[in-house]
Amino acid sequence: MPAIHQKTNVVAFYGRHRLRRYSLLLLAIIVVLAVYRVTILSVQRSFDTDEFEHIQDAWLISQGFSIYRDFFEHHPPLLYLFLAPLFAFFDESEALFIARMSMVPFAVGILAMTYLIAAKIRGRLAGVIACALLSTLVVFQQKSIEIRPDVPAVFFLLLAFYCSFTSKPGPLHLAGAGMAYGVALLCTPKLVFTLPAFAAVMTHAEHKSVLHWRACKWMTAGFLLPLGLVAAYLYLHDTLEQAVFFNVSFNMAVPFTYHWDTLYETVGPSFTENWFLWCLALFSVAASTARAMRKIRKSGTRWQNESIITCASMGVGLGLFMIPVPSPQYLMSLGVVLSILVGIYGAGVVCALMKLCPSTPSCVLMLALITGIFLHPVPTLLRARLASNGPQLRALRYEWESVPADECVFDCWAGAGVFRRPAFFYHFLGPDIMLTLERLDQRILRDFLLKTLKEKRPLAITNDQMLHALPDNVNDYINANYHADRYGLLLLRNASEKDRVGAAAAVP
């Protein structure tokens, strides 16, 4: 072998060796920092109103109430069934943080699955790049710690991809992929936009060991298994019919008005905070789509699995314009899938640079990624300190002290009635819920709510901004029978003549 070629091979070997070693070191740093940041944010950051809704649903199930029959919910029940056992062993303050900390394993699992999927398609370097970019995605840091069905749903979606990404997937792989996808949809049906990606899995050219109809059969069987178990649970609790109504008919009755301002408020800040990732994502989707349009076919499963990820990212991206309210947690799902695609193409670019200049690209890459890891989370951590959950916890403790455990609370939207029995079947009345109830039956809010308040006579009403949106007769009853406390947080029930006599007799 000529000396020049031997020297080039030695340099390339040591370059790849250093790159592999730096990749493992960087991956360890990413995991440690991600776990630390997610844990800190879980403890410090304020709670979103939606989190109180999900906590309250899980707590009610733990208290023996049946979802869809005893209280309203229009989301699938899997998250609440998962969280319900946690509330049997902790008091109110501990349960809030235990519920939040239960999301941390899913957040770390999403990072792990992102690495494994990208590494399975394009190698270890692709996994490191994908995991590093996702860990710097601010919307991922913000929403992966919140008690939301989107967090476990994204984890099981990635698990479904990982199960199907083998050269010759057998029945167990396909059934496992279908089962994980079914669990993801039982958390949130928004991920139905990734269904074309799984259709591509079933019609894959590399599935020659399993015929197409057999692939469809095994994936469908796995998909129906979790759905059947949850349906059996609901049937045994006599709530299956109500579950279908609230998850299908009720959601279909929600007035469809696309909020372009919400899309701008969601995508705009994320693009500003992580413009590098989103620009690379657009480039990666365009490059992968161009390859598919040119019908470039290569041996192996790398290019085929890449096309499945591209199909999934395009499906989730399309859903961003089809969901009436494009929320940040849905944008998180898109960012997770796109980070895998960016990792695949990023690894290809680095490998091409390694061939041209084996000594410097790895150092430049490591410097850029480490800089991104340390700089991007800083604004998020600063905002987390500003948006502390301290005031919320003080308000909640005040309400728990003011309202005994056997009393009920009427709460429209603030979520302050958590860990207390709701006075109304529709225990969270957001704007969309109110509009839907008026469309279904105007008597629900005008007559049935008033009747419920008169019968149950809740001790306290949360003084939130949605009270003024209730019908006039309900507000008239509240104004006549309740008075504001000294802090303005609660509307307390006026003492009746019977209560006054009892209180006077109790005085020694």
Residue 374 pLDDT greater than 70, yes or no: no
Residue 116 pLDDT greater than 80, yes or no: yes
Predicted confidence band at 490 (pLDDT cuts at 50, 70, 90)?
Answer: very high
| Distance of alpha carbon 285 from the chain centroid | 23
Residue 459: phi and psi, rounded to 5, are -65, -35
Please give the pLDDT value at position 505: 38
Residue 497 pLDDT greater than 50, yes or no: no
Q: Are 50 and 148 in contact (CB under 8 A)?
A: yes
Q: Which amino acid is residue 498, in one-letter code?
A: K
The mean pLDDT value for 249-265 works out to 83
The mean pLDDT value for 73-82 works out to 94
The pLDDT tens digits of the residues spanning 148-205 come to: 999 999 999 999 999 888 767 778 888 999 999 999 999 999 999 998 888 777 665 4
Instruction: Pick the more confident residue, 351 or 115.
Output: 115
Instruction: Pick the more confident residue, 364 or 205.
Output: 364
In this structure, the chain runs to a length of 508
Number of H helices, E strands in the chain: 25, 5
The mean pLDDT value for 56-80 works out to 94
Instruction: Pick the more confident residue, 89 or 116.
Output: 116
The SS3 call for residue 422 is strand
CB atoms within 10 A of CB 499: 11
Residue with tokens 């844990």: 39
Please give the pLDDT value at position 126: 87
Average pLDDT, the chain: 82
Please give the pLDDT value at position 224: 94
pLDDT above 90 covers a percentage of the chain that reads 41
The mean pLDDT value for 425-451 works out to 92
Q: What does the DSSP 8-state code read for residue 24?
A: H
Q: What is the CA radius of gyration of the chain?
A: 26
Dist CA 163 CA 402 (whole Å) = 51
Q: Are 437 and 485 in contact (CB under 8 A)?
A: no
Q: Are 133 and 277 in contact (CB under 8 A)?
A: yes
Structure tokens at 108: 């770390």
The pLDDT tens digits of the residues spanning 294-337 come to: 655 554 566 778 888 988 999 999 998 888 888 899 999 999 99
Please give the pLDDT value at position 207: 46
pLDDT above 70 covers a percentage of the chain that reads 81
Predicted confidence band at 504 (pLDDT cuts at 50, 70, 90)?
Answer: very low
Dist CA 170 CA 365 (whole Å) = 38
Dist CA 109 CA 156 (whole Å) = 9
Distances (CA, A) of 56 to 1, 83, 211, 257, 350: 72, 10, 46, 28, 48
The mean pLDDT value for 29-48 works out to 79
Can you give the residue ranges of every domain in the chain? 11-44+103-240+269-386, 390-506
249, burial (CB in 10 Å: exposed 0-12, middle 13-18, buried 19+): exposed
Four-CA torsion 209, 214, 217, 219, nearest 10 degrees:
20
- The upper half-sphere exposure of residue 325, i.e. CA atoms within 13 Å in the direction of its Cβ, equals 7
Instruction: Pick the more confident residue, 119 or 199.
Output: 119
